Amino acid sequence: MRAIGHFYNGRSQPGDGRLSDVFDPNTGQVQARVALGDTALVEAVVAASKAAQRGWAAVNPQRRARVLFEFKRLLERDMDSLAYLLSSEHGKVIADAKGDIQRGLEVVEFACGIPHLLKGDYTQGAGPGIDVYSMRQPLGVVAGITPFNFPAMIPMWMFAPALACGNAFILKPSERDPSVPLRLVELLIEAGLPADVLNVVQGDKMVVDVLLDHPDIKAISFVGSSDIAQYVYGRGAANGKRMQCMGGAKNHGIVLPDADLDQAVADIMGAAYGSAGERCMALPVVVPVGERTADALRGRLVEAIEGLQVGISTDADAHYGPVVSAAHKARIETYIQMGVDEGAELVRDGRGFALQGYENGFFLGPTLFDKVTPQMKSYQDEIFGPVLQMVRADSFEEALRLPSLHPYGNGVAIFTRNGDYARDFADQVEVGMVGINVPIPVPVAYHSFGGWKRSGFGDLNQYGMDGVRFYTRVKTVTQRWPRGGVLADSSFVIPTMT
């Protein structure tokens, strides 16, 4: 049985004490056991990180960027093996696993520009003989708590800008698929990162709470469910930490009558069922405007669902693979039954799907509901599985209200050929990320990722310039050099420009 431990002192370290099973979602069998850390381990790792951070912060930004450039090269070299390892623990198909890695790699590319991104401001002659300048400095030791659904992308979203800015970083990955984060740290060490600048502590809530309470950790970034995001944000902020916590989602796809229906269906299918729906930027709700649009869309979706192929993660022909665990599969099935009980029309039922030869795997077929209403709990909650719900709207205004009034506000998409409607929608919708004929509007690496309402807690978003701002603090210097060594008499009045 493969044993998965932690990473500190520049190498992988075995764990002892509590263990957690790591499954192969394709077979349902335990393939490894990961060690779960404790308070003593976190204390030791924080101390090592704190000691290493001082030297790393003293390295100039250009040299820090060179480490990230080399890390990028190693990621590209090992893309295939990383994708296979990721798929074996998560269950997403290989092509999707490569996308997971690539989107993280793009943030690494952005962070390679850190010499420019860290430049401060300068004002000469702000007052008589007075100059003012600002600088961005690292916070010290920071941490990231990442979810199971993107075990490569989201850690890189966090640690790439944090390291580039001169911080030391402690990563607490999901215990469900912990191997890829360890491999990423090994590649960074190979790229020239000093030992203990990036460490990994495996664990569960016990480790999370120790990180949230530790006085030497200055900031924490989190991605996960909204209830836990709110808890993490509140506890960390109460301890004086800078917090950035991304929660759940219930993204809507609005389909107007003038939309290119063939393209919209193709986009919705990939966004709703890709990665078995285990994405916070999935599109689990589709909102056709008008009965004619709804009936046509439903017919096309049913036809497209018939052509979906569910398979093991290494099947190149599969559109998606299993969900991550038996417990998560059971949770999704509970929500499907909830939709039935609430009166939604179950058009396609993904329960009971079995893949020949992999009957114990965590597979679900694609599910489609029609005539879902906003009052249903199955609509209000994030299901996080291959379940698509159709909510019919009579008008553009009604369609606009649905995502705006929903408790989540992560992403939304509108499908239309009408620029007027698209512009009004983007301006008025109460959601953080908007796609116009783009089903999964995850911003590129030099913008920032972040939702509104219960999808995001904290003032700064992930990556982009918000990432640089999150992992640094600004120091502003006002300087004066006396001429001839003579200073004016003491003044007891607040300095002004008069």
Average pLDDT of each block of 10 consecutive residues along the chain (498 residues)? Answer: 95 91 97 97 98 98 98 98 98 97 98 97 91 97 98 98 98 97 98 98 97 98 97 98 97 98 97 97 98 98 97 97 98 98 98 95 98 98 98 98 98 97 98 97 96 96 97 96 69 75
CA torsion sign for 378, 325, 363, 85 is positive
Q: Strand, helix or coil at 313?
A: coil
Q: What is the pLDDT of residue 390?
A: 98
Q: What is the pLDDT of residue 1?
A: 84
280 is catalytic: yes
234-239 contacts: CB < 8 A, separation 24 or more?
A: 235/209, 236/212, 239/212, 239/213, 239/215
The tokens describing 298, both together, are 């439903």
User: Choosing from 112, 165, 245, 280, which is the catalytic residue?
Assistant: 280
Nearest to residue 451, comparing CAs of 422, 408, 414?
Answer: 408
What is the bridge-based pairing of β-strands 6-8 and 387-390? unpaired
Q: What are the domain boundaries of the chain?
A: 2-247+455-477, 252-436
pTM: 0.95
Q: What is the pLDDT of residue 488?
A: 63
For residue 411, the cross-strand partners are: 433
Element (H, E) at 361: none
Please give the Cα distance from 347 to 471 (Å, whole number): 47
Q: What is the pLDDT of residue 484?
A: 67
For residue 408, the cross-strand partners are: 453
Domain 2-247+455-477 grouped into CATH 3.40.50.2020:
no
Element (H, E) at 468: helix 464-470
Nearest to residue 174, comparing CAs of 153, 195, 196?
Answer: 153
Tens-place pLDDT, residues 425-442: 999 999 999 999 999 999
Q: What is the pLDDT of residue 465?
A: 97
Those residues with Cβ within 8 angstroms of residue 385's Cβ, 6 or more apart along the chain or in another chain:
276, 277, 278, 323, 328, 329, 331, 332, 335, 364, 367
Length of the chain equals: 498
Identify the architecture of domain 252-436 in CATH: 3-Layer(aba) Sandwich (3.40)
Please give the Cα distance from 322 to 385 (Å, whole number): 10
